[in-house]
Amino acid sequence: MTDLAIDLRGIDKVYGSMFSRRVHALRGIDMRVGRGEIFGLLGPNGAGKSTLVKILMTVIKPTRATGTVLGRGVGHKPTLGRVGYLPEHHRFPDYLTGRQVVEFYGAMGGVDRRDRKKRGAELLDFVGMSKWADTRVRGYSKGMRQRVGIAQTLVNNPDLVIWDEPTDGVDPVGRRDIREMTVELKRRGTTVMLNSHLLSELEMVCDRVAILVQGRVSSQGSVAELTVDRQRYEIEVLAEDSNVDTAIRGALAKWLTPGSLTGTLATGESLHVQLDGAHAPALLKVNSAEASVVQPLIDALRFARLTVRAVKPIRPSLEDLFMEAVTDPTTGRALAPGAKEGH
Amino acid sequence: MVLKQTMAMLVDAYRELNAKKMFWITLVLSALVVIAIACVGINDKGITVLWWTFPVDVFNATIVSPAFFYKLIFINFGFKVWLTWAATILALVSTASLIPDFVAGGSIDLVLSKPIGRLRLFLTKYATGLLFVALQVSVFAAASFLVIGIRGGAWEPRIFLAIPLVVLFFSFLYCVCALIGLRTRSTIAALLLTLLFWLLVFIVHASEQSVLLFKLNAEDRVASIETKAGPLADSVAKQRAAIQKLSDVPADETPEARLERESQLVTAQASLSGLELRQQTSTSSLKEYQSSERFLGRLYAGIFALKTVLPKTSETMGILENSLTSLDEVAKLRKAEEERREERRAQRRGSDARPPNRTGDSERDSGEFSSAVAERQQEIIRSRSIWWILGTSLAFEAVVLAVACTIFARRDF
């Protein structure tokens, strides 16, 4: 058995036909999700996240797809009996009660009557909906619907759950509960794929993430892996009796390019000095996650009788990664939302 | 797995219907219809409603049996009016939203992501749409069975044929409703276009029956004129021969005899003129009716071809009527009606002080069809096989469902 719950290669989706406007929503998506991990799928609106998830769940037919879900080809219907899916903007029949919703979708997933009754009760308890289990869905708040929605994804005891915006419309308490449920599922060995805009939520629970931009995977990996090249040290420096500019240029002369506030350390890392005035603290940015790299700098600054006020290791957040991914490097502006039209 | 999913969808459909007010309103109305019919009775004088009697010449226990009377009421009012019109419209209103709601965003994703094929999913959902009518008609048929048994004295199990027949009848319309609902995702569009389609089917059916009647009438008239043409030609020939004979002047003719012969000749010539005029009129009418017969024949063929590909809603319900009422009973009733109509005609003629004329031609000349033509039309309609009626209708439904299934199987939701 492969260690991958999802292994996608070259997923393409083109909407429209030769007679209508064509939109190239997905352009060769390659993505791997390991078994038992929590995987976050990020991307701006129109990046193709929901399209990708719907292709996995056979709601949308791909133009081209190679790969596997739980070891079987994408689109293999019987495999969906081992998957739980919560779509974005889901709509349950409002004449059903929460318990009936869980049991109905359990039956559709092939769960035995006895099992779905037993698991239904357990799951409604798990999502904190026992008290409202026999109330019709039409009387539920958005958060209650999300909780019942999560319960129905678990009724078939799935190996993989895919939640599309599970915290949409949910209050902070509910968000925390859903986060805890996600971690509990991982503890039980279930693979969880989350599709969300709430980057801070994802950052807290995801083992790995993929960022989709305009139908392509912009980056993929653990947050640590993705940020390793972007980690840096920041050193805050004060000059007690002299002009900070002159003092710093003098102290760091052997690393700075003459006439410039940037330079390169002996170990190859880049150095950038940011000045905010003659008596304001200066900020040194060193492009390295290693503490040893900044020691010669600190020594030089201290030797020049400058005051080192703070030395901070800086690790970019998921939001920083996301913003970098959705920013056009040439213009510095956010990329236009939506998929590209194409052939 | 298949059974679990199908059962789950059926139970869900029942819950959905149960949640709809219209389901219960229709059921209550059905109960009221049955109760209303049960209040009506028949005795030797006429029709009774509760404890009142309304004398009716045609409908009384001396002409029709109570069992036949109840069957007629249930067929003509209970099934033909209530179930096939009013209850069907209510059923369409109730079920038109099933497919658009089913394929709505957020709803369809949940079921498509389950281990069930799209084809089976759509067809099962379609079948659950028929559940509404199946439940309604089952209750109605059971109540009708009891009323005919208790009030009419005839326990008629064939009344339960109404269940498959009404469900089939409804399915011919519902397949169109499902296709439009799937294509447009709009309940209103599905409902209105289905009602328009039903109107089209009704117009084609009514046109086919009318054109058939006109065509049979034209054929009847052509046959009638052709039948009379021979004797008329013989009369003309005889008259001509008589004139020829009278024209020959005998050698020993006396003046008195000549006067007599010339008088007979004038009379004969006048008679011949009359006969020739009738022959001319007859030939002209024959040509006219033959032309009309050809036109109506072509028109009928076209309408019949259109009707063949469309579902036969009326004929499907007619199967129930044919199975419940025998031709003898219908003929007996028709004879009573015919006698009553003759009496009315006689009374009308008496009051108009016109000489009585009981020939078929005068009846038809006044714009009515002869009863023979009407009977022939009914014979043709009743002779259509169940296989033709249901086979062609089911073929239509199969084609519509095939189109809907193709759309459902290929669509991205």
Taking only the tens place, the pLDDT of each residue in B122-133 is 999 999 889 888
pLDDT-derived band at B359 (thresholds 50, 70, 90) equals very low
Distance (Å, rounded) from C-alpha B5 to C-alpha B122? 12
Q: Tell me the count of A-B CB pairs closer than 8 A.
A: 88
A79 has a chain B CB within 8 A of its CB: yes
What SS3 state is found at A243? coil
CB contact under 8 A, A109 and B115: yes
B381 has a chain A CB within 8 A of its CB: no
| Burial classification of residue B234, based on how many CB atoms lie within 10 Å of its CB (0-12 exposed, 13-18 middle, 19 or more buried) | exposed
Of B18, B106, B115, the CB nearest to A89: B106
Chain A interface, best mutation among B17, B110, B185, B413, by max A CB count within 10 A: B110
Distance (Å, rounded) from C-alpha B70 to C-alpha B36? 12
Of B11, B15, B106, the CB nearest to A95: B15
Parts of chain A belonging to CATH 3.30.70: 231-312
pLDDT given for residue B191 in this prediction: 96
Find, in chain B, the residue whose alpha carbon is nearest to that of A97: B15
A9-A14-A15 Cα angle (round to 5)? 140
Residues of B in contact with A113 (CB under 8 A): 4
Name the β-bridge partners of A271: A263, A286
ipTM of the complex: 0.81
CA atoms within 13 A on the CB side of A248: 31
Position B164 in a domain: yes
What SS3 state is found at A29? strand
Residue in A261, A258, A260 with CA at minimum distance from that of residue A237:
A261
Parts of chain A belonging to CATH 3.40.50.300: 4-226
Strands A208-213 and A38-42: parallel
Residues of B in contact with A81 (CB under 8 A): 1, 114-115
pLDDT-derived band at B353 (thresholds 50, 70, 90) equals low
* Cα of B124 to nearest chain A Cα, Å: 12
Query: pLDDT: is B409 or A242 the higher one?
Result: B409
CB proximity under 8 Å: A 111-140 to B = 111-113
CB contact under 8 A, B412 and A78: no
pLDDT given for residue A36 in this prediction: 94
CB contact under 8 A, B4 and A110: yes
Of B5, B106, B113, the CB nearest to A107: B5
- The average confidence (pLDDT) of chain B is 86
Find, in chain A, the residue whose alpha carbon is nearest to that of B101: A93
Q: pLDDT of B11-38, one tens digit each?
A: 998 898 888 888 888 889 888 988 998 8
A206 has a chain B CB within 8 A of its CB: no
Residues of A in contact with B116 (CB under 8 A): 77, 108
The DSSP 8-state label assigned to residue B114 in this structure reads: S
CATH fit for domain A4-226, picks 2.30.130.10, 3.40.50.300, 1.20.120.140, 3.40.1190.20: 3.40.50.300
How far, CA to CA in Å, does A302 sit from each of A26, A251, A297, B159?
Answer: 54, 9, 9, 105
Structural domain tally of chain B?
A: 1
Chain B interface, best mutation among A14, A52, A58, by max B CB count within 10 A: A58
CATH number for the segment(s) A231-312: 3.30.70
A16 has a chain B CB within 8 A of its CB: no
pLDDT-derived band at B326 (thresholds 50, 70, 90) equals low
Residue in B304, B401, B249, B128 with CA at minimum distance from that of residue A104:
B128
Of B107, B115, B117, the CB nearest to A81: B115
Cβ-based neighbours of A46, under 8 Å, separated by 6 or more: A337, A338, A339
Position B194 in a domain: yes
Residues of A in contact with B185 (CB under 8 A): none
Residue in A153, A159, A11 with CA at minimum distance from that of residue A74:
A11
B5 has a chain A CB within 8 A of its CB: yes
Chain B interface, best mutation among A86, A108, A159, A165, by max B CB count within 10 A: A108
Mean pLDDT, residues B279-298 = 91
pLDDT given for residue B79 in this prediction: 82
pLDDT given for residue A339 in this prediction: 58
pLDDT given for residue B357 in this prediction: 46
Query: What are phi and psi for residue A194, nearest 5 degrees?
Result: -110, 135
pLDDT given for residue A334 in this prediction: 74
Question: Are residues A229 and A269 in contact, defined by beta-carbon separation less than 8 angstroms?
Answer: no
pLDDT given for residue A2 in this prediction: 63
Distance (Å, rounded) from C-alpha A199 to C-alpha A181? 17
pLDDT-derived band at B330 (thresholds 50, 70, 90) equals low
pLDDT given for residue A137 in this prediction: 94
Q: What is the pLDDT along chain A (343 residues), one digit of tens a residue?
A: 568 999 999 999 998 877 778 888 999 999 999 999 999 999 888 889 999 999 999 999 999 999 999 999 999 999 999 999 999 989 999 999 999 999 999 999 999 999 999 999 999 998 989 999 999 999 999 999 999 999 999 999 999 999 999 988 888 888 898 999 999 999 999 999 999 888 888 888 999 999 998 899 988 998 888 877 778 899 999 877 677 888 888 889 889 988 888 999 888 888 999 888 767 888 999 988 888 989 999 999 999 888 999 999 888 888 888 888 888 877 777 777 665 555 4
Distance (Å, rounded) from C-alpha A83 to C-alpha A152? 11
Residues of A in contact with B111 (CB under 8 A): 108
Chain B interface, best mutation among A26, A79, A91, A100, by max B CB count within 10 A: A91
pLDDT given for residue A299 in this prediction: 92
pLDDT-derived band at B356 (thresholds 50, 70, 90) equals very low
Token pair for B28: 């209550």
Containing structural domain, residue B19: 2-200+387-410
What SS3 state is found at A165? coil
What SS3 state is found at A326? coil
CB contact under 8 A, B115 and A59: no
Cβ-based neighbours of A24, under 8 Å, separated by 6 or more: A12, A13, A14, A215, A339, A340, A341, A342, A343
* Cα of B406 to nearest chain A Cα, Å: 14
Of B106, B115, B117, the CB nearest to A87: B106
Strand order in the sheet with B46-49: B40-42, B46-49, B52-55
| Residue B91: Cβ within 10 Å count | 25
Distance (Å, rounded) from C-alpha A212 to C-alpha A46? 9
B412 has a chain A CB within 8 A of its CB: yes
Cβ-based neighbours of A308, under 8 Å, separated by 6 or more: A235, A236, A237, A298, A301, A302
CB contact under 8 A, A54 and B1: no
Token pair for B148: 């005919």
pLDDT given for residue A340 in this prediction: 57
Question: Are residues A80 and A58 in contact, defined by beta-carbon separation less than 8 angstroms?
Answer: yes
* B364 Cα distance to chain centroid: 22
Residue in A153, A169, A166 with CA at minimum distance from that of residue A206:
A166
* Cα of B115 to nearest chain A Cα, Å: 5
Name the residue type at position B360: G
Token pair for A270: 């880049």
CB contact under 8 A, B110 and A80: no
CB contact under 8 A, B12 and A92: no
Cβ-based neighbours of A164, under 8 Å, separated by 6 or more: A49, A50, A53, A85, A86, A87, A88, A195
Residue in B90, B88, B111 with CA at minimum distance from that of residue B25:
B90
Q: pLDDT of B71-119, one tens digit each?
A: 888 888 888 888 888 888 888 998 999 999 999 888 999 999 999 999 9
pLDDT given for residue A21 in this prediction: 82
Q: Angle at which helices A244-251 and A291-303 pack, to 10 degrees?
A: 120
Residues of B in contact with A195 (CB under 8 A): none
CB contact under 8 A, B107 and A54: no
Q: pLDDT of B385-394, one tens digit each?
A: 889 999 999 9
Of B104, B114, B412, the CB nearest to A108: B114
The answer to whether residue B368 scores a pLDDT higher than 70 is no
The answer to whether residue B178 scores a pLDDT higher than 60 is yes
Query: pLDDT: is B364 or B208 the higher one?
Result: B208
CA atoms within 13 A on the CB side of B380: 14
Question: What's the distance, Cα to Cα, between the start and end of chain A in Å?
Answer: 37
Name the β-bridge partners of B359: none
Residues of B in contact with A138 (CB under 8 A): none
CB contact under 8 A, A96 and B114: no
B107 has a chain A CB within 8 A of its CB: yes
Strands A282-286 and A270-274: antiparallel
Place of tokens 């801070």: A200
